[in-house]
Amino acid sequence: MKPGDFLANVARFWDRVDRTQPECWVWTGETNRFGYGRFEFRYNGTRTRILAHRLSLILIGQRLTDTDVVRHTCDNPPCVNPEHLLVGTQADNIRDAIERGRHNGTGLALGRAPTWPPRPCRGCGVTVTEGHHQYCPSCKSEAARESQRRYKAKREAL
């Protein structure tokens, strides 16, 4: 990427930020359905979309991995003010949402799996109560061995 390309992208980014308010710097460009800003970074004939608040942190020198979640301390999705952004995990983000009343704390967000009704094992008929499994542990092992035998026989026939 030529230095001019990078600077042109940075200039385009800041052109879409309203910094007239003293607190939140509001993204005025394209947003996703949740209200978070999206920016199309262009270089060498390719285009990459990135969330505006993530790019805001990158532009001030913050290193981000793909698994990092950028959290808003102001609870304002279009805000790109780096002082209002924190790097954390998805668990941190959910915890923030529950503490601030934006999430009721139910469902899979807290790691609770859905409850599945007990059912008989497809191999021996013993009741299976954990998760949505179709076999008990011993029958599952046997089913896996049988599947491997069928696969090997099919490969040898070819």
Lookup: tokens for 21: 């308010």
Residue 158 pLDDT level (bands cut at 50, 70, 90) = confident
Higher pLDDT, 14 or 109: 14
Instruction: Say which CATH topology domain 3-110 has.
Output: Homing Intron 3 (I-Ppo) Encoded Endonuclease; Chain A (3.90.75)
If we measure between CA atoms, which residue out of 154, 153, 123 comes closest to residue 138? 123
- Supply the mean pLDDT for the chain: 83
For the chain, the structural domain boundaries read 3-110, 119-157
**Is-contact 80 53, C-beta < 8 A?**
yes
Residue 93: pLDDT over 80: yes
63-86 mean pLDDT = 92
State the pTM of this model. Answer: 0.63
Q: Which residues contact 40 (CB under 8 A, 6 or more apart)?
A: 30, 47, 48, 49
DSSP letter, residue 31: B
Residue 4 pLDDT level (bands cut at 50, 70, 90) = low
